[in-house]
Structure 1
């Protein structure tokens, strides 16, 4: 009888132990949960990383790049909340930032007086050591 109780106890403890090898690491802004299966299980000798998507219909399109790098193993540590907020702010700034190009020279051929398809910007020199282009016409915008 003691052997029967011991074997039943061992079966239940082994099933609970396999669940304890999976650890919730965090979640991203899309509400995906990221897990790590720790080594020590008889089936896994190394740590395995995986995630559970919030929306199963759109699995691949909604993962933060920092979390994807952690999943692939190119990052050792998972991203922190401060880091993801900083990346999101930087992404929004880049979306809102306008590019200052001269519309008078952009897209014109060199024969028409432009520089080809390369834009001219005030803050950069055209030739090394020379100042940027000066306005020929006072009505010219740049």
Structure 2
């Protein structure tokens, strides 16, 4: 049986995952400062992106994502594992992205987020994010 503290931690981490998606989908990239640790490692290479430390990747997101007219994240299957002041999770993401151009094509992306977290003075923060590709298809 889960303790109230573990239930609270799981809900905080799940909200952090949602906060990430909301910041990206609303194009409010500075909101990611409340999701990641300043030295977080992020690896988006499985879906054609870059990898690196949070500040570099945040700048890349702010430059690249506005090229897409629309996109949205839908998360599910939150598998959160907590060990004291660290945690890990595996979450599935469905991310359709409208491609630039007049053809109105959509890139359907299916991926897993493999994340690590650390409890900080400001609450839980993501210290590592690695994407694993499930599928992608242009329609």
Q: TM-score, normalised by structure 2?
A: 0.26
Higher relative contact order (CA 8 A, sep 6+): 2
Q: What is the TM-score when the length of structure 1 is the normalising length?
A: 0.26
Q: Which has the higher strand share?
A: 2
